[in-house]
Chain A
C-alpha cells in the first residue's frame, strides 16, 4: 500500500545531542512537509520541500535542519540548538501545488 512511513515511533534525546527523524513516502509526491505538534495545539510548519534538492523554512525552523536528496525521503534533524524539542513530529506529502497533504503517524520525541 502507498503511504508515508515515519520512524522511529518514539525517540529520546540527551542534552546536547542531535537526532534525526526519518520520513519516507512511496506516493510519488513531489512536496514534503515537517510539522511540530505540542499537546493540545495545532500543527506548526518546520520545513517544506517542493522538489528534490530544494527546501524552505517554515514558521519555526530554528534548531532544525532537513535534506531532500531523494524524492521519497525527507529526514528532519533536531539539533542541540533546539531548546524545547519535546513534541510530536509529523511528516506529510502532497502532489506539488495540490492538496490534500497526507500524513504519517508521527514520531514522539522526548528529552532524557
Chain B
C-alpha cells in the first residue's frame, strides 16, 4: 500500500545547530502535508503544514520545504534546543473526501547539550 517514509530513523544534533529532517512521500497527487512532533508518552503535536501549491512555508523556528518533482518533504528547525528532542512524523493526504492521512515511520531527533 501507500506509505510515507523518512530517510533516517535517528538524527543527532548539537544544541544550537540547525536540524533537517527528511521525508519521502509516495502519492504524487497528495495535496496536503503535515509535520508532527511526538514526545514520549504523548500524542503527536502539530508543528506546521503545507499545501501542494506551495514550495516553502515558515513558522517560528521551523520551515517546511516541498519538492513535488521528487516527492520530498523536509522540516528544518533553526537553533535546535533540548526541548526539540522528540520523534517527528510527516504525513500526506492523498486525494479523497475523507481527510485520511498517511503517516511515515518517524525520525527521532536527539539534541546534545
Binding site for B on A (CB under 8 A): 4, 6, 31, 35, 40-45, 48, 50, 56, 58-59, 90, 92, 94, 96-106, 108
Which of the residues A42, A94, A108 comes within 8 Å of B103, measured between beta carbons? A42
Among A44, A98, A105, A106, which residue has its beta carbon within 8 angstroms of that of B99? A98
B73 at the interface (CB under 8 A from A): no
Query: How many interface residues does B have (CB within 8 Å)?
Result: 23
Q: Are B100 and A58 in contact (CB under 8 A)?
A: yes
Contact B99 A59 (CB under 8 A): no
Contact B43–A103 (Cβ < 8 Å): yes
With A43-B103, A48-B98, A106-B41 given, can you name 12 additional A-B contacts, CB distance below 8 Å?
A4-B43, A35-B103, A41-B105, A43-B44, A90-B44, A97-B97, A100-B34, A101-B99, A103-B36, A103-B43, A103-B45, A105-B43
Query: Are A103's CB and B99's CB within 8 A?
Result: no
A56–B32 CA distance with the chains assembled, in angstroms: 21
Question: From B47, which residue of chain A is reached at the shortest CB distance?
Answer: A100
A103 to chain B, nearest CB (A): 3
By a CB distance below 8 angstroms, the chain B residues around A56 are 98
Is the beta-carbon distance between A50 and B98 smaller than 8 angstroms? yes
